[in-house]
Amino acid sequence: MKQRHTRLSEIKELIKANRIDNQDTLLDLLAEKGFNVTQATLSRDLKLLKVGKISDGWSGYYYALPENDLISESEKSYIQDVRRGVLSIEFSQNFGVIKTRSGHANSVALALDVLALPEILGTLAGDDTIFVILREGNSKEDLLESFKARIPEVET
């Protein structure tokens, strides 16, 4: 199975190059490229990429990627909070511990909650440590791939 980061890049390229109006079509195109994923995984990927459906004005709707400029100023601020605060990330099964600079844990945990990474069920922050619970069916690797996609400057 190819890595999630590669699959996310391929999804972006397929959406840019084709008029795709449903997940079945996208799943078929991904399969042609060697990516065998479930509909649930594809749904999580589309959410992570912030893919939406837009009207073509006459015959229906199709998938579209967000414009980079459409990232809200508040989201940019939250991403900056994560970049500034995170020092390290460690996992034990579905639980993670994020070490932050002293006093940054609350702002980083809030940022992670607002950014709504689909792998994170919840966070609990102290002064310099955040306890992270992953959603069932997600792994440490899934979360780290989300970090790379949304907050690439964070060293994981």
4-66 maps to CATH 3.40.50.970: no
- pLDDT, tens digit, for every residue of 15-37? 888 889 999 999 999 999 999 99
The per-residue DSSP string of 38-95 comes to -HHHHHHHHHHTT-EEEE-SSS-EEEEPPPGGGS-HHHHHHHHHHHHHEEEEEEETTE
**pLDDT-above-70 percentage for the chain:** 92
CB atoms within 10 A of CB 93: 8
What does the alpha-carbon distance between residue 105 and residue 101 come to, in Å, rounded to a whole number?
A: 7
Q: Where in the chain is the domain with CATH 1.10.10.10?
A: 4-66
Question: What pLDDT was estimated at residue 155?
Answer: 66
- Entry pTM: 0.56
Helix (H) or strand (E) holding 96: strand 95-100
Question: What pLDDT was estimated at residue 98?
Answer: 94
CATH code reported for the domain at 71-150: 3.30.1360.40
Helix (H) or strand (E) holding 132: strand 129-134
Which residues of the chain are modeled with pLDDT < 70? 1-2, 56, 67-74, 155-156
Question: What pLDDT was estimated at residue 69?
Answer: 42
Q: Where in the chain is the domain with CATH 3.30.1360.40?
A: 71-150
